[in-house]
Amino acid sequence: MALKMKRTVYLKKKTLAEARTIVSTKLAHLIHLGTETIPVIHSLGRVTAEPIFAKISSPSFHCAAMDGIAVKAESTYGVTEESPKSLLINKEAFFVNTGNPIPQGMDAVIMIEDVHLVDSQLAEIRNAAYPWQHVRAIGEDMIATEMVFPENHKITAYDLGALLACGHQEVKVKRKPRVLIIPTGSELVEPEQTNLNQFNSRSGTIPSGIIESNSYVLSGLIWEDGGDPIRHPIVEDDPFKIKETILSNYAGVDLILIIAGSSAGSEDYTRSIIEESGEVFVHGISMMPGKPTLIGRFKDRPVIGIPGYPVSAIISYETLVRPILYQSLHLTRTERPKIKVIPTRKIPSKLGTEEFLRVKVGKVGEKFFATPLPRGSGVITSLTKADGIIRIPALSEGLDENEEIEIELLKPVEEIFNTVVLAGSHDLSLDILANLLGRFYPPIYFSSHPVGSLGGILAIKNGICHMAGVHLLDPETGEYNFPYIRNYLKGIDLKVIHLVYREQGLIVQKQNPKKIKRLEDLLRKDITFINRQKGSGTRILLDHTLKTLSLDSTQIQGYENEEYTHMALASGIASGRADVGLGILPAAQAMNLDFIPVAKERYDLVIPSIYFEDEKIRKVLEAIRSDDFKETVQRMGGYDISRTGEELFNCGIRNVDCGTEK
């Protein structure tokens, strides 16, 4: 691929507010949806194109509101318990069931419970009826010719009933906005062209190519927003092909989204194509993610250039495309529910840029806490895992910890109420636990924050998690976890629940090509190490062991490369970035790597006692103690589940039985 060095430069960047005004004033009016007439029974969620008037009244005749006899009220005047009256059936009284027409001349219904059948000819009543008693009069619900719905009304499931009942079988609605999605990029491959059988899934690598998924995410969002997504196959980075694609498709659609190519790189052709055949209103928006967004028109069709990174694409869609769709359908855009949260740490943000920060939200005690997820715009899981989005204004330099701030919720608040928050070290058995918790009903959700064992201990201290996952070796005593609890969590009434014993060891390439055998090998010049972050149990274990063996960590190549999870560490080795790292067996197995055992360690959950009153914490205990959990963990290998679920005691904490191991 030849590199062309001419490059576009951003126009003067616009703020998001400016860009939205441009979208609303210069783009939305280019869309003329037109109308279509469809069966009422298929009109759920569609928008009326004209006011709807009742064709017939509902009910369309006087009808019985109860099962009973229809009578003329006048003929019952004076009737009482003491002076009952017999009415001639089919002359003075007519049997009717709910919904039946009231026979000519009758104007009231007496409930069947209040009728005594003397014989097949006579019905005795003991109470007078008043006119229109238990009768649904014509038009009680809707009167023929009255306006039932205005135009621009979104049809609900309830509305289907009203439309049918007042005589409509068809309804004229706005055509759905047709949105053409053109994914561009020579580096992209269609999902179905990714032949996963050709490579070893355990190695986690495929030869090359980025799977094109943005167009499907946008299709889903467009569909949810009432539009009609039309996905075009991938177009390579070739201005002629991109332009040809637009030219041969633009006439049949209402809005064009071009994914990627709106940045300022050498292969970003969207701007010049739009300038040639239309107008560019905005190129570059001071928001993050989503900066390389372009707004323009191609001839008379609105165009949005959507950034290629998945999170940017979504933010760009939600802030700019969604409003156009709502405006074209003439619907009020609703905001996401909001709650106040407290950030668990200080979050700096770039001045002059509006940031959409994805966060996990946990309710611990009475407060909602927000923990930032990775901010990279390439990390789609920062959105799929997110519970909410904090919008940091352009004029803010970020958020202080403990400073309450509003977030937009991405998930129902009910799910957050039912979420158990764990901070600390990550272990693969926690994924199994999370899955089991989801099987309870109502489901319990599990939110795990990989901040390392010491981070977990501090999170307990700060009251921002329900439990901490820790495997902290005390170098002085060789004892696990309790020394740290004694040191950092003095005065907090808590319980320690044992989760698993697991093996830590050196994770190396398959077949161990560099013949690494023990920790001493880490100092070899031909070996690159990959480390875990400071404060993690694994790092403490490493540093302790190095010290015991009098090995100098500064001599280890790559000692400063830190990863936050076992899996990330294993992945670094699988990809060839490093030769070796310290981690757990299941991570090595998952990535098809070799493993050299170093130590067996105890992984416990530290849980403040107050949370044991909480139903969802009790369910966590129930799940951990289930055979299902233990068996699944054991099948993974590298675990000892012989004491899983036991409460451990330590004399420093409680003056009861000492369960501490020596």
- Which residues 414-443 are close enough to bind its own copies by CB under 8 A? 414-415, 418, 431, 434-435, 438-439, 441-443
**In the structure encoding, which two tokens stand for residue 449, read together?**
């924050």
Contacts 24+ apart (CB under 8 A), 163-169: 163/40, 163/43, 163/52, 164/40, 164/41, 165/58, 165/141, 166/54, 166/55, 166/56, 166/57, 166/58, 166/142, 167/54, 167/55, 167/56, 167/60, 168/40, 168/52, 168/55, 169/39, 169/40
Report, in Å, the least distance between residue 482 CB and its own copies.
30
Give the C-alpha separation, 368 to 344, whole Å: 10
Which of 150, 252, 463, 478 is the binder for its own copies (CB under 8 A)?
150
Subset of residues 227 to 256 that bind its own copies, contact rule: CB under 8 A = 237
Report, in Å, the least distance between residue 549 CB and its own copies.
27
State yes or no: residue 86 binds its own copies (CB under 8 A): no
Q: Between 129 and 473, name the residue whose CB sits nearer to its own copies.
A: 129
Subset of residues 355 to 384 that bind its own copies, contact rule: CB under 8 A = 376, 378-381, 383-384
Give the C-alpha separation, 618 to 353, whole Å: 44
Report, in Å, the least distance between residue 116 CB and its own copies.
11
408: closest CA among 393, 392, 390, 394?
A: 390
Contact stretch for its own copies (CB under 8 A) within 74-82, 210-218, 496-504, 545-553: 210-218
244: closest CA among 212, 283, 280, 273?
A: 273
State yes or no: residue 513 binds its own copies (CB under 8 A): no
Q: Between 56 and 492, name the residue whose CB sits nearer to its own copies.
A: 56
State yes or no: residue 59 binds its own copies (CB under 8 A): yes
508: closest CA among 562, 429, 599, 583?
A: 583
Which residues partner with 295 through β-bridges? 282, 304
State yes or no: residue 60 binds its own copies (CB under 8 A): yes
In this structure, the number of other CB atoms found within 10 A of the CB of residue 248 comes to 10
State yes or no: residue 205 binds its own copies (CB under 8 A): yes
Residues 573/507, Cβ–Cβ less than 8 Å: yes
Task: Name the pairing type of β-strands 445-450 and 388-392.
Answer: unpaired
Residues 78/34, Cβ–Cβ less than 8 Å: no
Q: Between 219 and 286, name the residue whose CB sits nearer to its own copies.
A: 219
Which of 26, 122, 178, 216 is the binder for its own copies (CB under 8 A)?
216
Q: Between 210 and 549, name the residue whose CB sits nearer to its own copies.
A: 210
Which of 31, 142, 496, 623 is the binder for its own copies (CB under 8 A)?
142
Which of 17, 41, 651, 658 is the binder for its own copies (CB under 8 A)?
41
Contact stretch for its own copies (CB under 8 A) within 39-47, 171-179, 391-399, 508-516: 39-47
Give the C-alpha separation, 15 to 4, whole Å: 30
Tell me the residue type at 275. E
Which of 88, 244, 279, 333 is the binder for its own copies (CB under 8 A)?
333
State yes or no: residue 208 binds its own copies (CB under 8 A): yes
Kindly determine how many residues on this chain lie close enough to bind its own copies according to the rule CB under 8 A: 137
State yes or no: residue 567 binds its own copies (CB under 8 A): yes
Please report which helix (H) or strand (E) contains residue 329, including its range.
helix 322-329
Query: Beta strands of 31-184 (E only): which ranges?
Result: 35-39, 52-53, 63-64, 68-71, 85-88, 94-96, 108-111, 115-117, 122-125, 135-136, 147-149, 170-174, 178-183
DSSP H helices in 166-309: 214-224, 239-247, 270-277
Q: Between 124 and 415, name the residue whose CB sits nearer to its own copies.
A: 415
Task: Name the pairing type of β-strands 301-306 and 255-259.
Answer: parallel
Q: Between 82 and 615, name the residue whose CB sits nearer to its own copies.
A: 615
For every residue of 453-496, DSSP letters joined together read HHHHHHHHHTT--SEEEE--B-TTT--BSHHHHHHH-TT--EEE
Give the C-alpha separation, 518 to 513, whole Å: 14
Residues 313/218, Cβ–Cβ less than 8 Å: yes
Report, in Å, the least distance between residue 278 CB and its own copies.
24
Contact stretch for its own copies (CB under 8 A) within 73-81, 207-215, 462-470, 536-544: 207-215
Subset of residues 472 to 501 that bind its own copies, contact rule: CB under 8 A = none
Chain centroid offset of residue 263 CA: 27
State yes or no: residue 332 binds its own copies (CB under 8 A): yes
Which of 16, 23, 49, 63 is the binder for its own copies (CB under 8 A)?
63
Give the C-alpha separation, 625 to 651, whole Å: 24
Report, in Å, the least distance between residue 404 CB and its own copies.
21
Q: Mark residues 525-554: x for contact with its own copies by CB under 8 A, - for none.
A: ------------------------------
State yes or no: residue 341 binds its own copies (CB under 8 A): no
Give the C-alpha separation, 448 to 431, whole Å: 9
Contact stretch for its own copies (CB under 8 A) within 14-22, 221-229, 456-464, 611-619: 221-229
Q: Mark residues 292-321: x for contact with its own copies by CB under 8 A, - for none.
A: ----------------x-x---x-------
Please report which helix (H) or strand (E) contains residue 158, including its range.
helix 157-165
State yes or no: residue 202 binds its own copies (CB under 8 A): yes
429: closest CA among 442, 415, 416, 446?
A: 446
Subset of residues 99 to 138 that bind its own copies, contact rule: CB under 8 A = 99-101, 112, 117, 132, 136-138
Contact stretch for its own copies (CB under 8 A) within 49-57, 343-351, 390-398, 465-473: 49-57
Contact stretch for its own copies (CB under 8 A) within 151-159, 364-372, 400-408, 480-488: 151-159
CA-based R_g, the chain, Å: 35
Subset of residues 585 to 624 that bind its own copies, contact rule: CB under 8 A = 590-591
Q: Mark residues 159-198: x for contact with its own copies by CB under 8 A, - for none.
A: xxxxxxx-x-x---------------xxxx--xx-x-x--
Contact stretch for its own copies (CB under 8 A) within 40-48, 450-458, 514-522, 618-626: 40-48
Tell me the residue type at 440. F
Report, in Å, the least distance between residue 593 CB and its own copies.
11
